[in-house]
Structure 1
Amino acid sequence: MRSLIKHVLRREEPCDQLHVAGWARTRRDSKAFSFLELNDGSCLGNLQIVADAGIPGYEDVARMNTGAAIEIHGKLIPSPAAGQKWEMHASSLKLLGGVPEDYPLQKKGHSQEFLRSIAHLRPRTNLYGAVFRTRSRMAYAVHRFFQERDFICVHTPIITASDCEGAGEMFRVTTLPDDKIARETEDFFGKRAYLTVSGQLEGETFACALSNIYTFGPTFRAENSNTSRHAAEFWMIEPEVAFCDLAGDMDLAEALVKFLVQEMLDHHEGDLEIFSQFVDKGLRERLEFVASRPFERISYTEAVALLKASGAKFDYPVEYGLNLQSEHERWLTEVHFKKPVTVFNYPKEIKPFYMRLNDDDKTVTAMDVLVPGIGEIVGGSQREERLDVLMENFRKHNLDAEAYGWYADLRKYGSVPHAGFGLGFERMLMFVTGMANIRDVIPFARTPGHCEF
């Protein structure tokens, strides 16, 4: 049975019979033997292979260049070389897949922009192998966080007829030919359908039956934003909690962010080192700081006052009633408080219909968690549980109350206070890895004008 290199490197004892396979990173030849550095993607580390001339398969060693796929049998022995515990003495080699001279990942530096153009090969690099192993570990940690707290995982639909955010920036799903695109009743579902922007509304229906639920899946926004923080397809973590108010919502969001940060610190399996060395030298210190201290909490009104009094020059205006921009969020987290900040109670005019109206009739129970280097990473609210207020919100937001009748039913039949939020998974990955562009933490990024692979 083939052993993963990450398990081989952790062994405490030598092994007389070992079977590994992977891709060659480097090869060095002498007259009597060759050294091969092998990586199988299971970890950052390579396994050094010593292959004596004359063993079965050695006749192909000249073709075992960088990128070649190789299978090796042999034994694991202590390495005399400094900096490595083990090396493998090969008894046989097998070239599984060679590479021509135009293999794009030669042993040299490559720009991230170039690597995005070969997204099908970039997981073989040290950096992106670390990124996507981290993505896998963080996804597992998300499920652990909620399952250990008795949340129920709900799979909400990818195709929907509801616009959760009310912004209209949705991808339409249709089977109609171009010349019949306007005949909605003839479409597959008998009406307009879209790719979901959020599983929140459907999640609320389950929270109002099962108490604590979460969704974790892909969401889509047809937003023409060419920034380092936006993508047309991304993953969202969305808990919904019955019998919960805004304070409880903020507590849960802070606990989740801290849990994922601590997970990165405790179980990075060596990948944190490459991020700290080549991406962000202050990453570990920042993660430790975030994991160990409470987040600042301020109202939107207080945030606007701080920004207006700061004397800082911003590209976007700061006025009550306007959305905070990334530069404002980063000033709060990086310059003023120097830690994550939760901003709450936003003006009702700039927030969606489902957020609970406060007693002042001016603000809603919205909250955003902002982190250094990224800005907003979590957006949530206490949901409006009063039927009469919700129906009025439908009217004010020009929404079809009949189309949202199923949502209103939750308030008609046994309504309860409830709250939830969405955590952008890719933005969380950017935060824990230090990667500055969302395109570099998604296997195949979907952005305006780009839908390759």
Structure 2
Amino acid sequence: MASQDITAHSGSKYSNRVILKTLMESSDGGLGLVGQRIVIGGWVRSSKEVRKEPVPPPPPIDNGIDKTRSKEVSCVEIIQSRIPLLRSIIKVLGGSGYTVREKFESVAPKPRPPPRSTVYLLVTDGSCVASLQVLVDSSIVPPSQLLPTGTCILVEGVLRQPPGQGKHVVELKAEKVLHIGMVDRDTYPLSKKRLPLDLLRDYSQFRPRTTTVASIMRIRSALSFATHSFFEEHQFLHIQVPTITATDCEGSSNMFQISTFAGKTDKKEQSTIDATEGVSLEAIKGALKEKRNLVENLKRSESNKEALVAALQDLRKTNELASQLEVREKIKSETSVKTDTVNMSEDFFSNQMYLTVSGRLHLESYASALGNVYAFGPRFQAEKTETAKHAAEMWMVEIEMAFSQLEDAVNCASDYFKHLCKWVLENCPQDMSFVAKRIDSNCIDRLKSMTLCSFEKLSYTEAINCLKQVAENTFETNLEWGVALTAEHLSYLADDIYKKPVIIYNYPIEVKPFYVRLNDDGKTVAAFDIVVPRVGTLVSGSQNEERLDMITARTKELHFPTEQYEWYLDLRRHGTVKHSGFTLRFDLMALFITGLTNVRDVIPFPRSYGKANN
């Protein structure tokens, strides 16, 4: 019967445990299941032990012995009772005047059992913000195994209403503890309460156990689901574009190169390197000179043959070490040869390959056959900087639409952005309430305003003129037409002037990728950015060049290697079509939703320059 109860109220088809979200976020807060036996599993968020009142000792037992008589027992009688041989001697010697008592039975007092206690645990399984209070009697499991924060437990018990008025609607009275995953308080990093987010980045394997990061990840998951639902609703096809590519999609030099050449040092060479690691070749050469001088002096003096033999052995060993160091330096110089001097035909792909910075070029080939398509995945940039809005690996949502122009891409991007804001408000109310309480009190109002407001639209030229009119113009970068707008300029437009999303379009040709369509003025291209408050540029898009002669001229002007882009130019040679698209920086969208300031706090395992621990 118990197993039937558990199965009937399980929140998961693939486990016999109840997922806490189905319980804690139900309309009655779980009251409908009061009295039912369920299984829950999770991790201890906080705990306390409450000791029960000790049971009073039982009254003394009356065994019929005359207490007044017992007071008259003499020392001799006590000795008689303890030493049987002495009793016999006293009897023989006529000690009949003394009463010989039987041996006293010494009864050791029974040890008192440890005092009973109840452990109160707040348990979370990561499915929601709320925790379930679980009561475990010390007779079931020793409290010391359950109390540390982070302990994993699987518990079977009966759901009940807490006695009295409290903040918990229901609680679980444990009857069985099915599993305990203990932690070491001394080494577990989350034993301390409320660690700041920047310190949590060093423990990315544990930080989702914190309430803050768990809420961020649930919001991020909702954004991912909302992305697919939006494009599915508008009949886009989801395409997986390659992560490894031979094409520099953005004309950028900050790309991660892929090669199998590194690490091919053979074992003999590697052992040589290991044996000489930390030893300087220059220092060894200096030691060699001293040892040779010592040998020459000993040879001339001929006074101590044993010292000469020892010096010669020492010189030989030093020579061997110097030879090993020379081999090490040679290996280092060979492995540090630049890739342009390496014969790439011997590499895995037979030519230079990179981690992609953008999937839009590959997506175009499918838009040219399937119409409207989108991709969702990681993109990589090897920038040796550590800013709050950039990481080496970031997730992007990219779309391409056939038979469309710049205005179509702008409208699609605006609708998609509003859809994400609305989706989170409707589907993550508990997480957003927590974020408003713990991180940004204005986050909910900000999202509501995003779904209702119209976006400000201005050309690049108008944006330059607008910023030049700012009285307290103290921008670090001078405002000149043809120069890329910096994050400082863009944030000022969205945060200070318009206080809402701003769409900037028709950029100078020099500041946008080679594939963007040239406008009729010959100076600007059909590109746009959506700049939002707090984050900056969230979306970048364009109408792409469909004219073969124009894009060919552009690649030659930028001195791009022709062979890398032949496949892309083929799309213009055969069945070309007007098309447009955009890229939304997914991690920055999560940053905007939560009100956080550093993108590393919304990425599950952030990678940045010099930092990748797992």
SS at match of 2:228: helix
**Contact 2:145/2:182 (8 A) holds in 1:** no
SS at match of 1:403: helix
Please report how far the alpha carbon of residue 84 of structure 1 lies from its aligned counterpart in structure 2 after TM superposition: 2.7
2:176 is equivalent to residue 88 of structure 1: no
Per the alignment, residue 558 of structure 2 pairs with 397
Output aligned runs, 1:150-169, within 5 Å. 150-169=235-254
Per the alignment, residue 424 of structure 1 pairs with 585
**Could you tell me how far apart the structure 2 residues matched to 1:116 and 1:7 are?**
30
Unmatched 5+ stretches in structure 1: none
Per the alignment, residue 412 of structure 1 pairs with 573
**Could you tell me how far apart the structure 1 residues matched to 2:404 and 2:165 are?**
58
Per the alignment, residue 379 of structure 2 pairs with 219
Per the alignment, residue 358 of structure 2 pairs with 198
Per the alignment, residue 479 of structure 2 pairs with 318
Aligned with residue 22 of structure 1, among 42, 46, 54: 42
Deviations 1:262-321 (A, max 9, x none): 111111141111211121111111111111111111100000111111123112222111
Higher strand share: 1
Identity %: 39
Higher helix share: 2
SS at match of 1:320: coil
Output aligned runs, 1:165-184, within 5 Å. 165-177=250-262, 178=335, 181=339, 182-184=342-344
> Closer, same or farther in 2 for the Cα pair 1:357/1:101, shift >3 Å?
same
**Contact 1:43/1:269 (8 A) holds in 2:** no
Please say which structure displays the higher CA radius of gyration.
2
2:18 is equivalent to residue 3 of structure 1: yes
Compute the TM-score of the two structures, normalised by the length of structure 2.
0.72
SS at match of 1:38: strand
Per the alignment, residue 205 of structure 2 pairs with 120
Q: CA RMSD in A?
A: 1.4
**Contact 1:14/1:78 (8 A) holds in 2:** no
**Could you tell me how far apart the structure 2 residues matched to 1:348 and 1:262 are?**
35
**Could you tell me how far apart the structure 2 residues matched to 1:179 and 1:36 are?**
56
2:161 is equivalent to residue 78 of structure 1: yes
Please report how far the alpha carbon of residue 402 of structure 1 lies from its aligned counterpart in structure 2 after TM superposition: 3.4
Please report how far the alpha carbon of residue 405 of structure 1 lies from its aligned counterpart in structure 2 after TM superposition: 1.4
**Could you tell me how far apart the structure 1 residues matched to 2:23 and 2:377 are?**
34
Per the alignment, residue 37 of structure 1 pairs with 122
**Could you tell me how far apart the structure 1 residues matched to 2:135 and 2:353 are?**
59
**Contact 2:201/2:601 (8 A) holds in 1:** yes
**Contact 1:64/1:98 (8 A) holds in 2:** no
**Could you tell me how far apart the structure 1 residues matched to 2:556 and 2:145 are?**
73
Per the alignment, residue 246 of structure 1 pairs with 406
Aligned with residue 144 of structure 1, among 209, 220, 229: 229
Per the alignment, residue 49 of structure 1 pairs with 134
Deviations 1:77-99 (A, max 9, x none): 23344333221121122452111
Please report how far the alpha carbon of residue 395 of structure 1 lies from its aligned counterpart in structure 2 after TM superposition: 1.1
Please report how far the alpha carbon of residue 58 of structure 1 lies from its aligned counterpart in structure 2 after TM superposition: 2.6
SS at match of 1:345: strand
Unmatched 5+ stretches in structure 2: 1-15, 53-117, 263-334
**Could you tell me how far apart the structure 2 residues matched to 1:58 and 1:446 are?**
41
> Closer, same or farther in 2 for the Cα pair 1:88/1:81, shift >3 Å?
farther
**Could you tell me how far apart the structure 2 residues matched to 1:81 and 1:34 are?**
19
**Could you tell me how far apart the structure 2 residues matched to 1:285 and 1:262 are?**
12
Aligned with residue 456 of structure 2, among 296, 306, 321: 296
**Could you tell me how far apart the structure 1 residues matched to 2:336 and 2:440 are?**
52
Q: Which amino acid aligns with 2:553?
A: E
How many positions carry a matched residue from both structures? Answer: 451
